[in-house]
Chains A and B, each alone.
Chain A
Amino acid sequence: MSSLLELEELNVWFDLPRGGTLHAVQGVSLTLDRGERLGLVGESGSGKSTTVLGLLGLLPPTATLSGRVLLNGVDILAGGEETVRPHRWVDLAIVFQGAMNALNPVQTVSSQIVEALELHGLATGRQAKARVGELLESVGIPRDRGDRFPHEFSGGMRQRAAIAMALACNPSVLVADEPTTALDVMVQAQILELLDALCRDFGLALLLVTHDLPVVAQLCDRAGVMYAGEIVEQGPVEELFHDPRHPYTRLLFAATPDLYGEGVPVSIPGTPPRLDRTLAGCPFQTRCDRSFSRCKDERPLLREVAAGRSAACHLNDVPAEVA
């Protein structure tokens, strides 16, 4: 039974202004099933935003892609922009990072959502307005507020409006890129609760991209951890926390402060590798606290380490005594 959305070996290269390329996304594969919430976690430069922009075909002309994006088994990336566009917004919708600040300031919120409906030929006139009313209510905005302008909304409300816009065409997959990063913790909780409810009520599949581990821990069922352009570990969130199979996952959790946890968080020393050069060995090796000889020479492949879990680390194939 095929997944709703499947990424197969997605690669993205960016042309650099002074020549050369940046290999921003390096062979990312993931699957998303109906109604599932998948988190894509990583720090700046890990390639998580580029991955989702790539799967939606929203990258600039300086980008080169390869790999497959299978929507219900069909590769929508095969024909480039031509084959991706029909699915954009209709099957795959996205709430961009900072979407709440990207609303058109001179149009009312309602009219912006109507625009989305009309562009995709889904509804016009009175029908469209009715649908917009429905959408606004489903995200917790009173219908009549739709006739106001974005600057009259608070940050949280604008984010809800952006979500409503994304849901306009009834997509089956919602991608949310850092949906709560600029919001206060209480508003963040409201938005996360909203996303949770929307997934339940509309059977939406959610791909949540964020650097905030606890958010993923609370909202998602499964998560992929990205580092230096690739997924280094993937699996159910509980397992990622309680039984991490990649040192980066473990160290990232250890670096995250917790309200009631014991002990003080610890940084990961060093910085991520440059992506404009090919690397030998494991990209995390210079910062890893458990690297050994093999890590310098041989790049670990992402392999299954348990049912439904995979990790890219040599420690997983080493019998207990070594390392």
Chain B
Amino acid sequence: MSSNGLLAVEDLVVHYAVPRGLVGTVARRPQKLVRAVDGVSFSVGRGELLALVGESGCGKTTTAQTVLRLLDPVAGRISFDGEDITTLPNSALRPLRRRMQIIYQDPYESLDPRLTVKSTVEEPLLIHRSGSKRERAELVRDALARVELTPPDLFLERFPHELSGGQRQRVAIAASIVLGPDLLVADEPVSMLDVSVRAGVLRLLDSLREAGLGILMITHDLSTAARFADRIAVMYLGRIVEEGPAEAVVRDPQHPYTKALLSVVPRRDPRERSRAQILTGEAPDAIRIPRGCRFHPRCPVAIADCREVDPALERHGAAPGHRAACILAG
């Protein structure tokens, strides 16, 4: 657990009810629940980048949205800078929203096509009534400079369709940092950008991190997480199954799922064709979560006990802060 706690999440639970429809309600069928997030705990400190990785349906996006209270949890606790925000009403949340921002995946959709770059970056300032016109103009220029869109004047009057994908994403980031937040949630920030452009945006996030921002990055790309994150948390079916320093998780994985996942990530070097541990089938949906360890039906090394025991995250592996939820680890 990180010590300069900016964001701390404890036993977070987010469930969705599956709509039953008229027939289901009349026939009194049992309400099915999608247990999207089923007990997740982690923390993000200042100047730290935590990558939340996993395949689709693991609950990583739901977690990110809940942390910002864009969704409401069913149980658990979210603390932001020491303050419990789990059940704060919207009015109390509003001032806090300046300090936590989100960046979305799609650079083409995350900017209003009818607003200029200047208007987009200025909007947060207007919403929070920050400063005079001149002060706002300064802050906008400053934000654009920080995202390396220089000289800012060249970009102020442009519309999104005049910019490339990478530039649009930078504008989105500028709009997120203009209020000077402490925490940034980045949901797949580069997955829709060309490869040659991704590194630039990720380095930008890295430099923001160095300036003191805490970043929670959602990604399905383990290679990106390996290169850019301080810590990695691997999610499966609503739970974190392994968590620790990025290098440790990638080089010394403790959980069978992590090991399998790492083994199938294609490598750049054609000579490095690692022995892939391809799991069969796909993850079950979050309505029917297996008993015991939720990974056991697909686990290559599962034993009888795995059907009964639902393991908790425990210290495994050599590195400090490296934990895994597996009774066979270590």
Interface residues of A (CB under 8 A from B): 43-44, 154, 156, 184-190, 192-193, 211-215, 217-218, 237-238, 240-242, 251-253, 255-261, 264-269, 271
Contact = CB atoms under 8 A, between A and B. Distances in A.
Q: For the complex of A and B, list the 3 residue pairs with the smallest distance between their C-beta atoms, beginning with the closest.
A: A267-B200, A214-B266, A189-B264
Contact of B195 (A217, A242, A256, A261): A256
B287 interface: no
Contacts of A271: 164
Residue of B56, B220, B265, B276 with most partner-chain A CB within 10 A = B265
B278 A258 contact: no
Contacts of A190: 278, 280
Contact of B199 (A215, A218, A238, A264): A264
Nearest to A140: B280
Interface of B: 55-56, 164-166, 194-203, 206, 220-224, 226-228, 250-251, 260-262, 264-271, 273, 276, 278-280, 282
A178 B203 CA distance: 27
Contact of B196 (A43, A212, A237): A43
B82 to A, nearest CB: 33
A257 B196 contact: no
Indicate the member of A43, A256, A258, A265 with the most B CB atoms within 10 Å. Answer: A265
B245 to A, nearest CB: 15
B264 A185 contact: yes
Contacts, number: 128
A238 B271 contact: yes
B282 A187 contact: yes
Contacts of B260: 186
B6 to A, nearest CB: 24
A218 B202 CA distance: 25
B-side interface mostly: helix
B194 A265 contact: no
Given A186-B278, A189-B276, 18 more contacts: A185-B220, A185-B261, A185-B264, A185-B265, A186-B260, A186-B282, A188-B264, A214-B268, A217-B267, A217-B270, A238-B271, A242-B271, A257-B198, A257-B224, A258-B227, A259-B265, A264-B227, A267-B199
Given A184-B220, A186-B279, A190-B278, A259 B262 contact: yes
A192 B165 CA distance: 28
B196 A218 contact: no
A193 B267 CA distance: 15
A189 B278 contact: yes
Contacts of A269: 200
Contacts of B199: 255, 257, 264-267
B252 to A, nearest CB: 12
Contacts of B251: 260
Given A43-B195, A214-B267, A267 B261 contact: no
A274 B164 CA distance: 12
A213 B194 CA distance: 12
Given A185-B222, A264-B203, A218 B267 contact: yes
